[in-house]
């Protein structure tokens, strides 16, 4: 089948869709809160945040392109079909109906809608809002070939216009000088590392792997079918969208730092954003916030439910795409009504486990041409990474687990690992695993070459 030549407008639409899929409510509120936490040390905190919130998601898109994969399953395939399927289910469950997708509704409701309602109506309000929210996500994802139109051409441009209005007002009338703001204790000397860890909260590295199938499907619907061409388009669109996202993160972090000139450190970025827009725009600002948050969350929810349904239908074809779409939308609605605090409390442990594994798999995929995706390299790197990742997971659980006898024992064990105090105890084991895996691979290659020469 002949590939169609894509225009600049086509690339803009795909990049816009990819940006919209990545940029959810967390991407809006976490940078703002980071700016407040870092104060005048906003620059090193920003650099750390950009590594895990921009560079890593970009690498996940590139990993899909370089390995010519169609989703998260293919990224884990060198470790065998069993691991690949397990990893796919775990990723989609975490960023999908158990934590990530419900968060899109609960954050948009808590930040944009709840402040407009009396407290006694919050439970009913969330029930109604989440029902409508996931109903729309389901309807807008029904036809796979319409996802580009619904997200890339309609919802995302409207979101960007509203966000630009906030930036224009905020930077034309700054609330303070970011170079003179107070720094919280953790960011006095560890701004970069703490910014790095804050980037976990966006879930974008995991989402990048899961969105692979959605992006590949979208590119194919626009006329590209050859694997090399699909990979090139995906990589180019990823670089465009991530560059744009980095600029928005920078603006949000600076805006958060400047807000300390008018407000005290907020509980979270949602409160900070609420304060900022109300300071400049009053009641109209709150309405703008509600619209802005709901739009950005809806675009992310569409991407998450579609990616879940596409991947699960591919690997469990007895169940149709529409049925999987209905299952993930309904489950997301149910879990959303447990409330934002419960979702955040129980999602953190899974992120602490999945992020190290995802980072090493993304890195291995990007560098895979150097060792031809040899399973031996994957086995040692992932095998050495999984133990500290499991320890991090246990320590991050709510007190019912982390403060138990077992949890306290894990904390004592974790202290023996390098970099554990800054939450990066998986790094050294991963590097050791990489050295061992590559050594074995190149020794095996050398023996193979010698045998071929003798037999030749």
The predicted-structure confidence for 199-258, as pLDDT tens digits, reads as follows: 888 888 888 887 766 677 778 778 777 777 877 887 888 888 888 899 999 999 999 999
CA-based R_g, the chain, Å: 22
Domain boundary among 286, 310, 337: 337
- Report the candidate in 218, 257, 176, 166 with the shortest Cα–Cα distance to residue 16: 218
Provide CB contacts within 8 A for 60, sequence distance 6+: 204, 205, 208, 209, 212, 358, 362
Whether residue 427 has pLDDT greater than 70: yes
Asked if residues 12 and 222 have their Cβ atoms less than 8 Å apart, the reply is: no
- Could you report the per-residue pLDDT of 274-297, keeping only the tens digit for each? 888 888 888 777 777 777 778 778
What SS3 class is residue 13?
A: helix
Asked if residues 299 and 154 have their Cβ atoms less than 8 Å apart, the reply is: no
Q: What is the number of domains present in the chain?
A: 2
Report yes or no on 316 lying in a domain.
Answer: yes
104 and 150 inside one domain: yes
For residue 70, the Cα-to-chain-centroid distance in whole angstroms is 18
Range of the domain at 262: 8-337
Please give the model's pTM, rounded to 2 decimal places: 0.83
- pLDDT for position 58: 84
222 and 99 inside one domain: yes
Domain boundary among 337, 353, 384: 337
Distances (CA, A) of 15 to 88, 124, 152, 242: 24, 37, 8, 9
- Could you report the per-residue pLDDT of 349-387, keeping only the tens digit for each? 888 899 999 999 999 998 988 898 999 999 999 999 999
293 and 400 inside one domain: no
């Amino acid at each position: 089948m002949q590939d169609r030549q894509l225009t600049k407008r086509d690339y803009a639409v795909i990049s816009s869709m990819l940006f919209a899929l990545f940029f959810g409510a967390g991407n809006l509120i976490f940078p703002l809160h980071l700016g407040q936490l870092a104060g005048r040390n906003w620059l090193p905190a920003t650099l750390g945040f950009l590594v895990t919130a921009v560079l890593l998601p970009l690498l996940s898109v590139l990993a899909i392109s370089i390995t010519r994969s169609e989703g998260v399953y293919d990224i884990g395939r060198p470790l065998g079909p069993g691991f690949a399927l397990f990893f796919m289910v775990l990723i989609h469950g975490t960023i999908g109906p158990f934590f990530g997708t419900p968060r899109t509704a609960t954050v948009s409701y808590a930040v944009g809608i709840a402040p407009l309602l009396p407290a006694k109506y919050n439970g009913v309000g969330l029930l109604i809002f989440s029902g409508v929210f996931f109903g729309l996500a389901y309807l807008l994802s029904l036809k796979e070939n319409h996802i580009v139109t619904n997200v890339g051409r309609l919802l995302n441009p409207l979101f960007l216009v509203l966000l630009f209005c906030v930036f224009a007002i905020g930077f034309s009338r700054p609330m303070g000088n970011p170079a003179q703001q107070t720094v919280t204790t953790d960011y006095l000397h560890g701004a970069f590392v703490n910014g790095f860890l804050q980037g976990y909260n966006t879930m974008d590295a995991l989402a990048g792997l899961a969105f692979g199938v959605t992006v590949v499907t979208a590119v194919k619907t626009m006329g590209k079918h050859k694997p090399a061409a699909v990979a090139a388009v995906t990589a180019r669109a990823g670089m465009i969208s991530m560059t744009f996202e980095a600029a928005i993160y920078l603006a949000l972090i600076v805006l958060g730092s400047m807000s300390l000139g008018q407000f005290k450190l907020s509980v979270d970025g949602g409160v900070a954003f609420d304060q900022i827009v109300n300071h400049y725009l009053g009641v109209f600002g709150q309405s703008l916030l509600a619209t802005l948050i709901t739009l950005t969350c809806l675009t992310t929810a569409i991407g998450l439910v579609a990616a879940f349904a596409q991947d699960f239908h591919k690997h469990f074809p007895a169940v149709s795409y529409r049925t999987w779409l209905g299952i993930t939308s309904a489950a997301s609605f149910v879990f959303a009504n447990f409330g934002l605090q419960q979702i955040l409390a129980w999602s953190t442990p899974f992120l602490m486990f999945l992020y190290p594994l995802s980072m090493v798999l993304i890195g291995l995929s990007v560098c895979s041409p150097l060792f031809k995706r040899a399973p031996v390299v994957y086995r040692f790197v992932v095998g050495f990474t999984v133990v500290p990742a499991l320890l991090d997971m246990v320590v991050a659980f709510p007190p019912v687990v982390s403060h138990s006898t077992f949890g306290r024992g894990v904390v004592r064990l974790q202290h023996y690992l390098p970099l554990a105090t800054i939450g990066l105890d998986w790094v050294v084991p991963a590097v050791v695993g990489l050295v061992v895996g590559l050594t074995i691979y190149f020794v095996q290659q050398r023996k193979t070459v010698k045998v071929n020469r003798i037999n030749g």
